[in-house]
Structure 1
Amino acid sequence: MFSSVAHLARANPFNAPHLQLVQDGLAGPRSSPDGPPGPPRRTRNLAAAAVEEYSCEYGSMKFYALCGFGGVLSCGLHTAVVPLDLVKCRMQVDPNKYKGIFNGFSITLKEDGVRGLAKGWAPTFIGYSLQGLCKFGFYEVFKVLYSNMLGEVCN
């Protein structure tokens, strides 16, 4: 049973510590300290796509703006769960009326319609977007600022 698992572990493309394509001296037969030499190790041929140089310099204003924009996107998308959050809050406020998630959704749809599920989306979007902007954008700004104050190179 374990021999097949061991074979799969040896065939794993990530078994080399630094993901080396070919290691010197390992192309021939393998020998283990526990037993006889194993089958010869086959070389791996991996292909990589060419990467274009990105025109955003680390620490530039464009870099900080992109970090902030990434924060706005990642945190602002929390707005998608506003209907679930709305029903959860209503269940907490009135547990007798809203007995469960599905019951809460059906009651909200009956009383307020589909638009009722979107109550509170604007403050949620603004709040979480500003939080993401500050969290991701200002983190990079202060990381560079404080590392420069300490005399460290931050790259």
Structure 2
Amino acid sequence: MFWFVLRVKRRNEIKIASQLEALGFQIFCPTVTTVKQWSDRKKKVIAPLINSYLFIKIQEKDRAKVFEVPGVLKYLFYLGKPAKVPNKEIELLQEYLVDSSLSAAIDQKKEGDAHIISSGPFKGKEGVIQEVGKNRLQVLLLELGVKVTLTKVA
């Protein structure tokens, strides 16, 4: 089984994901929690990280069954074939979304402090914080000579 990319109706990603899960498919809909502000209030809203797209783990022979759910538009194609996403890429995305240590780091760290990156391709690398923003850190990885920007997701 492979992960395929499904294009779905905009603003229906979470609803369609739950309907596909009810049919027995393994679905990954990466979401983030953001604070939306209206003129009279603020509210936390769960929104899809990638608009109009879902990831589905499905066997090649069962690919047509997803179109039973209203709002599923098509598969994403690459070079004339349905795009397949490796498990490792999905795991990295899930790990990135679960990592909450950055929220604490942004609140507690200041410029010049040491910081060890806890997830992603630079996991375990130590750097020096160059800049602390409201929702991000810029870390200089001395070992590699690279400046990395870490963003708070939720």
Q: TM-score range by the shorter chain?
A: under 0.3
Q: TM-score, normalised by structure 2?
A: 0.22
Higher strand share: 2
Higher helix share: 1
Q: TM-score, normalised by structure 1?
A: 0.22
